Structure 1
Amino acid sequence: MTSGNLAAADTSGAPQLHALLPVVDIVIPVYNEEIDLEPSVRRLHAHLSAGVPYPFQITVADNASTDTTLEVANRLAAEFPSVRVVHMPEKGKGRALRAVWSTSDAAVLAYMDVDLSTDLAAVLPLIAPLVSGHSDLAIGTRLHRGSRVIRGAKREFISRSYNLMLRHTLSTRVSDATCGFKAIRREVAAHLLPLVEDNGFFFDTELLVLAERSGLRIHEVPVDWIDDPDSRVHIVSTAKTDLRGIARLAHALATGKLPVHELRAQLGRAPLEPATPGVPPGLTRQLVRFGAVGVFSTVAYLVLFLLLRDPLTSQGANVLALLSTTIANTALNRRFTFEIVGPQHRTRQELQGLIVFGLALVLTSGTLAVAHSLHGALPPALELAVLVTANATATLMRFLLLRRWVFRKA
């Protein structure tokens, strides 16, 4: 096993080049790959030496192989100073990546499958955005329009179905979560890896979902891919594990177990907004989102009011319509406008929301009562006009109270 004398990398801003450090560490997780390992490492080493302008390291992560894989890896490490070997006593792709990435000195951490199904011409496009600091993670995708893929119909169907499931269950936006060709900046990995639980093939998906929810930028590289017909991935057992992983991850996100809000504040890239003198950062975005929620709430309020006006009094219809839409409005603004997830402070915020509801009720009901006292019974059109005006004023009051009181940042 080779290691070398590696100093700590500068992780401020974009990854920095250093003469004594590998800029990129490419991990190849292996289990019983005594035949394919040597030609793959030699091919990868030759490509990196000729086509990548950064100091590199290749790490063979042996996952408790029972054949001569470890001996082959050690022989390669003795021949190439830029190759090192890490032996894991237990199997698990995720476990191996976590162990190597957590201790690597390289500024950019990557991995690829030992079969080198991905054309190596995609290596530089994968790591360059991370070296420059433009992106935080990078993944190869076989599902991009520009990708060229050779694989069986069964695997194609399973891959597309799995990624479609991720989009609908975990709201992912990456096109291909399972391509064995990914990279991450070391300082980002230091924050995310302790939160990733899976030690197997779901590791990739869990890492990507966590990165997306944390507001990190993920760069996608269309790849040329030739599937390995001798792949040892067991489709049925992997699918069962993935389904359990999706359920676990969805529950963790829904209950606030994962601190994605804190990670977003610490690591995420804030949305670009036009700089307006005198306008606090984020206010423009919040106003637009609050307005969208407000339009939906107002329409729902008016529909409910008209439906309830005849069986109830105008005041009764106003109370029920306002209460129903206020509850939905508060929940939508909590998640969509002010980007708060998880159960933390939810009870307090709901109680404060009810107080805001009471103030809005006093304003709208008081306006309606004044209109009735001045003009008697009002025709429905005029009554609606009065309520729309009062509701607009109440909406402005709600935004100020939600921003400065209910959902204020600590």
Structure 2
Amino acid sequence: MTVTTPRPREPLPIDTVGIETVLDVVIPVYNEEAGLEPCIRRLHAHLTTKFPYGFRITIADNASTDSTLAVARRLADELAEVTVVYLAEQGRGRALRTAWSTSDAAVLAYMEVDLSTDLAALPPLVAPLISGHSDLAIGSRLARGARVVRGPKRELISRCYNLLLRGTLAARFTDAQCGFKAIRADVARRLLPRVHDPAWFFDTELLVLAQRAGLRIHEVPVDWVDDPDSRVDILATAIADLRGIARLTRATATGAVPVSRLRDQLGRGPIRVDTPGVPVSLPTQLVRFAAVGVASTLAYLLLFLLLRLGMSAQPANLLALLVTAVGNTTANRRLTFGIRGTRGAGRHQFEGLVVFGLGLALTSGSLALLHALTAPGVALELAVLVGANLAATVLRFLLLRGWVFHPRRQSWPSPGDDRP
């Protein structure tokens, strides 16, 4: 059955006539006395020559303990378009909420003080908001067309984080943490009171709420060069982000986030469903995924016993696993993620086998590592296998939800796909 939902009403373009400040760019800083001045002067020169409307640059000092605040105030005295906001507490999210909430600009943006993102992407970032095409805009280092220079460690962390967001919160944006974003002020006034994180998870929470509210999020592929002097504590940030994901997942699952009321307040109406039939509820998907998993396990055991009558254990195990892996992907495609028709089925099966292979490598690798380190008993082997299989199951669900059957990918044509 095809479900038809009303298309969200289009946002109105911003009437720039009579508005003194169209764009307010916030630069959150903490102990940046050396890098602040060149950043502000470069940004100010770019906006002066490239941006056709009135602008402001707001330096949001997060309780710096060096001379950052003095440098900021000196720049504000010299440059009319520069202002300073001082906060007694740290936190990027807290700085953005404070600066955006008190701004009179029509479009609110922010970027990092290191200017890792090429400023040439700024006009394409804010233009869709001024024209009324979009409600939010984000720079993306992972979108097609982006050019990124950074180490493999940060690249891996970034991709894993965004895959985790797809698997847990069904995120449709590609890059949550790129420090290059903009939002319409009228939208920000509705969303900011609902965003609770005061630190690095602020971006993700804002984007997830915007997506759930049916807002248009525009992505701009950026040229981005990693700052080798970055002082971000990766481990502490990762732990905080995982806590934020757990909190937001729980809030959306229990209804603590008033998505329907937010959509009504923003005038967007029911959110558009790009892929009819795809379950939106994470708990529903988890229940169906678990049911398919139990059925697959029983089918595997039965098939293994039948094959074992005519062949040795290893080939029987491999064949039973392959057959049930294909069946598992087919069942999850139809039952868990609600995808019908034959379009993309071949690609789904191939990617499903890749996911199966990763899970198999995780369980087999864990067992091999155990035997390499010690001579385990049966109880220890079973404990390791149970733990590895649990991890493999979580990995499989995240990859199926965030990659193989992600709603955004279902609209992409693949060579040889048949229409339903």
Shorter-normalised TM-score: what interval? 0.5 to 0.7
Distance 1:242 1:289, change over 3 A: closer
Shift of 1:261: 1.2
Matches of 2:74 and 2:165, distance apart in 1: 41
User: What percentage of aligned pairs have identical amino acids?
Assistant: 66
> How far, CA to CA, are the matches of 2:17 and 2:198 in structure 1?
32
1:232 paired with 2:231, answer yes
- Report the counterpart of residue 220 of structure 2 in structure 1: 221
User: Which residue pairs with 2:143 in the alignment?
Assistant: 144
> In structure 1, what is the equivalent of residue 241 of structure 2?
242
Displacement of 1:41 in angstroms is 0.3
Change (3 A) 1:229 1:267: same
| CA deviation map 1:21-66 (0-9, x unaligned) | 2100000000000000000000000000111111100000000000
Which deviations, in whole Å up to 9, do the C-alpha atoms of 1:259-314 show, x marking residues without a partner?
111112332645899xxxxxxxxxxx8xx759xxxxxxxxxxxxxxxxxxxxxxxx
- Matches of 2:132 and 2:53, distance apart in 1: 15
Q: Where does residue 92 of structure 2 map in the other structure?
A: 93
- State how far apart, in whole Å, the 2-side matches of 1:254 and 1:17 are: 40
SS of residue matched to 1:176: coil
Distance 1:176 1:52 in 2: 25
C-alpha spacing 1:268/1:155, structure 2 compared with 1 (3 Å): farther
**Match of residue 347 from structure 1:** none
In 2: Cα distance, 1:145 partner to 1:77 partner: 38
In the alignment, what sits opposite 1:68? 67
Return the letter of the residue paired with 2:65: T
Give per-residue Cα distances to partners, 1:181-205, cap 9 Å, x unaligned: 0000001000110011100000000
Q: Which runs of 5+ in 2 are unaligned?
A: 1-10, 279-334, 340-420
Contact 1:216–1:268, Cα closer than 8 Å, also in 2: no
Cα distance between partner residues in 2 of 1:170 and 1:76: 41
CA distance, structure 2, for counterparts of residue 17 and residue 132 of structure 1: 10
SS in 1 for 2:256: coil
Equivalent position of 1:198 in the other structure: 197
**What is the 5 A alignment of 1:285-364?**
none
Larger RCO, structure (CA 8 Å, separation 6 or more): 2
Question: Which residue matches 2:14?
Answer: 15
Aligned residue number for residue 48 of structure 2: 49
Cross-structure match for 2:76 = 77
Q: Is the 8 A contact 2:138 2:182 kept in 1?
A: yes
In 2, are the aligned partners of 1:214 and 1:268 still within 8 Å (CA)? no
Instruction: Give ranges in structure 1 of 5+ residues lacking alignment.
Output: 1-11, 274-284, 291-331, 337-410
Give the structure 1 partner of residue 105 of structure 2: 106
**What is the total number of aligned residue pairs between the two structures?**
272
2:213–2:271 CA contact under 8 A, matched in 1: no
Q: Which moved more, 1:19-28 or 1:118-127?
A: 19-28
1:199 counterpart SS class: coil
Question: Secondary structure of the residue that 1:71 maps to in structure 2?
Answer: helix
The whole-number CA distance in structure 1 between the counterparts of 2:215 and 2:139 is 17
Q: Is the CA contact 1:143–1:176 (under 8 Å) kept in the aligned structure 2?
A: yes
Residue 179 of structure 2 is aligned to residue 180 of structure 1: yes
Aligned mates of 2:99, 2:265 — CA distance in 1: 24
What per-residue deviation string (whole Å, max 9, x for no partner) do you get for residues 132-170 of structure 1? 111000000000120000000000000000000000000
SS of 1:33 mapped into structure 2: coil
* TM-score (normalised: structure 1): 0.63
User: What secondary structure sits across from 1:265 in the alignment?
Assistant: helix
Compare CA radii of gyration and give the structure with the larger one.
1
TM-score, normalised by the number of residues in structure 2: 0.62
Q: Answer yes or no: is the 8 Å Cα contact 2:214–2:271 preserved in 1.
A: no
Equivalent residue number for residue 279 of structure 1 = none
Cα contact 2:110–2:181 (8 A) shared by 1: yes
